[in-house]
Amino acid sequence: MKKKFLFLLLLLSGTFLFAEDGYDLWLRYKPVNKIVLSKYKQAIQALHIPGTSQTITAAKEELITGLKGLLQTSILLTTTIKNNGTIVAGTSSSSPVIKSLDLQSDLSKIGNEGFLIFSKTINGKNCIVITANTDIGILYGVFHFLRLLQTEQSLDNLNLSSSPKLQLRLLNHWDNLNRTVERGYAGFSLWNWHTLPGLIDKRYIDYARANASIGINGTVLTNVNANATILTAPYLTKVAALANTFRPYGIKVYLTARFSAPIEIGGLKTADPLDEGVRNWWKEKAREIYSYIPDFGGFLVKANSEGQPGPQDYKRTHADGANMLADAVAPFNGIVIWRAFVYAAENPVDRHKQAYDDFVPLDGKFRSNVMVQVKNGAIDFMPREPFHPLFGAMPKTPLVMEFQVTQEYLGQATNLVYLAPLFKEVLDSDTYSNGKGSTVAKVIDGSLNNHRLSGMAGVSNIGNDINWCGHPFAQSNWYALGRLNWDYNLSSEKIADEWLRMTFTNNGSFISSAKKMMLESRDIMVQYSNPNGLHHIMGTGHHYGPAPWVSNLNRPEWNPVYYHKADSIGLGFNRTSTGSNAIAQYFPEARKLWEDINSCDEKYLLWFHHVSWNFKMKSGRTLWNELCFQYYTGTERVKQMQQSWNVLKQFVDVDRFEHVKQLLGIQYNEAVWWRNACLLYFQTFSKMPIPSHYEKPDKTLEYYKSLRFPFAPGN
């Protein structure tokens, strides 16, 4: 009885928040604030959206669903403009009303995927127009319009024009055919190959809706550590079913191509890219794929990396391999995306240098439908690393940015780490390749070197967990990837603001506090795990937690000791001219930021320099004391995140509040683990005490070394 009374009391007071599981992502369409509701209802009274294509139908359904949820009322569908507040959506070819507005000049500036949203008096009625050159542009415009409503923006005197900065806006799924996900921390793969093509799970449609809402237009369905089985007829039938589902939402499917497929499923004795039989096999395979999927995007390829087969097995170059596949898909307007993530155990050169050494000599030797996909940094998606030296170094080759949305090295699904600041840090970095202002963003958008193709990809963090991404806040990283793909000039703050308003609430007190937490979260994680340029000191294999002591793996570059090089003198990897000289791969103006140990940006100090334990940092502290400060401060800041979240309880439904609260508890424990394990280990070299004002570790180094995680997810 008391529970029922409390329920009614909360309901009447307006403070009761129904439990949410996170499935709806940022497309919740909950009622807007009463203050703006009356204005919206006056501005939106009817919907005129002619056309019967699958994409227009999807746009119409999204508008109806969104408006009904946000405004708590049904919207009149009309074939003519009779009402004030009519939303008119369509292209010049689908809508006579739009055609009569003579928008050719404006439409000519936004391409095939851009859109216009503006206020207009039509037939004496005040209307809102959403128009574009194509149906997919209309869908993107509809999602943007709904975003305006969800974030409670003014609809007065609308005049918006938007088009994507990048042509290919991709998600890379590292999903295996057995539904495990490499580096996945949100359950099993979305793709249920066993029930495809017969069963089209509602999740596939909602996945497409979510991607279209942020402008993602391509999905690579399979792991870069590829399985040739996906290229066989039974699986191509399944892929075609997904392609058919995604097509109305503007999403093309891509597949990873295993380089040895001609041997494994084709019965050939070689996969040599210069062998005529191999080349013909791939041409026939491409023809077969396009017979199932006429708009198939093309292949993503990992070759001669971490044991994967590739053209170097036959003494051929990466260009030879990529061009063979490019020739196969070229008649169908397909592309090949060739990953530059290569390093070899047999190569004694600093791993930082190997991709540059392999690919720069090949610049200009790739077919026009080949793109080279480059990780944001030269090592491997570290919590913080300088931009990859290949950006700016291959002016004749279009490069695709590869970010990792899944948090392999950033706390996985137990840590709240908002990645937009990391993405922006890289995109805004100046390569100086064409003088000052030659940012990484301008390299990948093609503008710096006049490339026809451009793109950015993110390794997906999506699984079949009910909330898609494991950690509720990890959804923001999927969202951020899409928004920055569309417009890399957006700020991390703007993206966080949008996501919080759409995912939780427009309450100003909630937004200001939660946004601050998000914007600081990546720096916090760096502080308590890999400060001052430390990198790749994670547990080996699973990459969960710290293990800077590991030194017994077969390949030297798989051992954390390879990267930190701690000894009695100091700490860090010397990549200057007196060390590996990896710094020489950057243009001189960029090198100046890092090559002098006394002026090096301290965020990257240990990345480029082996530094004495007694080296005086800008803070006045020695390197050892600075490490202690960073580790302890980062850990304390996680505690502050916990406190900040607890204050927000009144604004969040109980299920999501408790989920985040408990995960922040795990994150604090993991921060303590990182702090204690790393400082105890590095102390064996520095021989210096942890300053007395810090709490001493309550476990021994031997304890931390003994920890094992044989069933860590994503491994």
- Catalytic site residue 102? no
- Catalytic site residue 408? yes
Question: What's the CA gap between 536 and 559, in Å, rounded?
Answer: 8
Q: 631-658: buried (b, 16+ CB within 10 Å) or exposed (e) per residue?
A: bbebbbbbeebbeebeebeebbbebbbe
| DSSP helix/strand/coil, 706 | helix
CA dihedral sign of residues 383, 388, 389, 391: negative
The answer to whether 62 touches 142, Cβ cutoff 8 Å, is: yes
Question: What's the CA gap between 266 and 495, in Å, rounded?
Answer: 47
- Which secondary-structure segment (H or E) carries 478? helix 475-486
Which residue type is seen at 334? G
Residues 6+ apart with CB under 8 A from 142: 59, 62, 63, 89, 130
**Pairing of the two strands 570-571 and 611-612:** antiparallel
CB atoms within 10 A of CB 109: 10
Distance, C-alpha 559 to centroid of its chain: 26
| DSSP helix/strand/coil, 254 | strand
> Among residues 20, 380, 402, 595, which one is catalytic?
380
Phi, psi at residue 402, to the nearest 5°?
A: -120, 110
> Among residues 135, 358, 385, 408, which one is catalytic?
408
Coarse DSSP helix, strand, coil percentages of the chain, rounded to the nearest 5 percent: 45, 10, 45
Question: What's the CA gap between 500 and 487, in Å, rounded?
Answer: 19
| DSSP helix/strand/coil, 68 | helix
DSSP single-letter state for residue 144: H
> Among residues 152, 206, 264, 306, which one is catalytic?
306
- Catalytic site residue 306? yes
* Extended beta strands in 376-513, E state: 399-404, 455-459
Question: What's the CA gap between 9 and 247, in Å, rounded?
Answer: 47
Can you spell out the DSSP letters for 214-248?
Answer: TT--EEE-S-SS--GGGGSHHHHHHHHHHHHHHGG
- Tokens 């669903």 sit on residue: 65
End-to-end CA distance of the chain: 49
Active-site positions? 306, 380, 408
